[in-house]
Structure 1
Amino acid sequence: MHTTPALPACCTALDSHWPLPTVLADTVLLSTRFDPTRLLGDDFQRSAVPAPPSIQRSVAKRQAEFLAGRICARAALQQLEGLNIVPPIGEDRAPVWPAHICGSITHSTGRAAAIVANKQHWRGLGMDLENLLSHERAERLAGEILTPAEMQRMAAGSQEQLALRVTLTFSVKESLFKALYPIVQQRFYFEHAEVLEWTAAGQVRLRLLTDLSSEWRNGSELEAQFAVQDGQLLSLVSIQA
């Protein structure tokens, strides 16, 4: 029986509330809120979370978000299968999960979350949390994040939704990368996928615009979902086994 180390003062109690429109069976999703100003020098030690050298050298904000994300991941693995594992950072900077597990960790200002599943049920999970962009910033970044077809659809849509659309497109493409990269082992970028449509209820349809493997080819379509809460957008791409 593993005893769970105490939560550091910078993190709130873990929350198992499902924040997205469609609950995924056979997954565990946990989140926490964190405050970098409450991070103490020995929090990694007391939480039994190893701090990689890159994290030890970083500022309090980066340390707190890493710690919060790893605490969520460990607790999710424990809840899923009784595993007492903190996923280390791989050479590609992504978390290294046990071979039979897929998962994703995300964080943005003051909030972190992790989702895990056994690969018997889900082949890929990618989750991303973003602060909603301001209208001005969204206008500036649109050309870097959106494909020409997405830019056209944005121009034809409501100007009031421009910031949401750009934030959503950025986030679901990040989630898509996190879900697919472990499967295809090939990097791809914003221009290699497009959002075909999305609904206010939080459903999204994506399409690949490049060949990533013999299975994941140009034109392959995937589903995503998202929710907006407290000025932040959470998105999730899930690939069934």
Structure 2
Amino acid sequence: MLTYPLPACCTPLSDHWPLPQPLANTRFISTEFNPAQLAPDDFQRSQIAPAHGVAKRQAEFLAGRVCAREALRRLNGGDVVPAVGADRAPQWPAGISGSITHGKNWAAAIVANSGDWRGLGLDVENLLSTDRAKRLQGEILTPVELRRASLLDLEQLALLVTLTFSLKESLFKALYPLTLKRFYFEHAEVLEWSTDGTARLRLLTDLSAEWKSGSELEGQFGQFDGRLLSLIAVA
């Protein structure tokens, strides 16, 4: 089984599960990364095709792919780095569902056999400040969600906008590979969420014959180190 040196910008890989409810038959790997410590030969030593852009973009891409490769290795012993598709989405091996996310110098990947989970959507976000949440709420929340948000104080609003953003991103990541149809914040709504880390969402648009407006999905989320992580899994 092939192993590769850890990039200089990444901390040792972790398989700690950071969400409230473990997901059976999945593999989850995360790492922290520091763009300032990205070495010129990190991509070459890791045998991962280089990404272009500033150091932050390169480091987050590399960290995410390192996590994805290790998650796939633990799932089925494979040695695969998901390529970048024409639609910019990761290209997973046949029979595999997966998702990669990165934010605030942390990256993670989750994978499963598609016979267990057809779709996986993982998203991490920095918790929004109250000012940013106020500015962004109209872009992220539907009219119904905005009415609910109007009853909250500023700290609750910041959490709600961050959570809604993340859950809708996870929803997109879970459903886009199944429908190959893009959709946006106004095309889904968070019906409810609980402090125990559970949430429920509803589609507001038709994506396919199976995924129609009104379809509902369960999600989960957790907070750590100023980050909010959400996951939506399609069984």
TM-score range, shorter chain: over 0.9
Q: Which residue of 2 aligns with 1:93?
A: 88
Deviation at 1:39, TM superposition (A): 0.3
Q: Which residue of 1 aligns with 2:160?
A: 165
Aligned residues of 2:2 and 2:79 also touching (Cα < 8 A): no
Q: Which residue of 2 aligns with 1:130?
A: 125
| Corresponding residue to 2:113 among 109, 118, 130 | 118
SS in 2 for 1:116: strand
Offset from partner CA, 1:137-174 (integer Å, 9 cap, x none): 00000000000000001112343311000000000000
Q: Where do 5+ consecutive residues of structure 1 fail to align?
A: none
| Corresponding residue to 1:108 among 87, 94, 103 | 103
Percent identity of equivalent pairs: 64
Deviation at 1:99, TM superposition (A): 1.5
TM-score, scaled relative to structure 1 = 0.96
TM-score, scaled relative to structure 2 = 0.99
Deviation at 1:16, TM superposition (A): 0.4
CA distance in 2, matches of 1:24, 1:187: 26
Q: Map of 1:139-178 to 2, 5 A cutoff? A: 139-178=134-173
| 4+ residue runs over 4 A deviation | none
The answer as to 2:7 corresponding to 1:46 is no
Query: Which residue identity does 2:45 align to in structure 1?
Result: R
Q: Map of 1:171-186 to 2, 5 A cutoff? A: 171-186=166-181
Q: Which residue of 1 aligns with 2:214?
A: 219
Q: Where do 5+ consecutive residues of structure 2 fail to align?
A: none
| Corresponding residue to 1:66 among 61, 68, 73 | 61
CA distance in 2, matches of 1:172, 1:236: 7
The alignment yields a C-alpha RMSD, in angstroms, of 0.7
CA distance in 1, matches of 2:225, 2:216: 30
CA distance in 2, matches of 1:235, 1:181: 16
CA distance in 2, matches of 1:236, 1:153: 23
CA distance in 1, matches of 2:54, 2:91: 23
Q: Which residue of 2 aligns with 1:21?
A: 20
The answer as to 2:226 corresponding to 1:231 is yes
CA distance in 2, matches of 1:65, 1:164: 24
The answer as to 2:184 corresponding to 1:189 is yes
The answer as to 2:10 corresponding to 1:11 is yes
Aligned length: 235
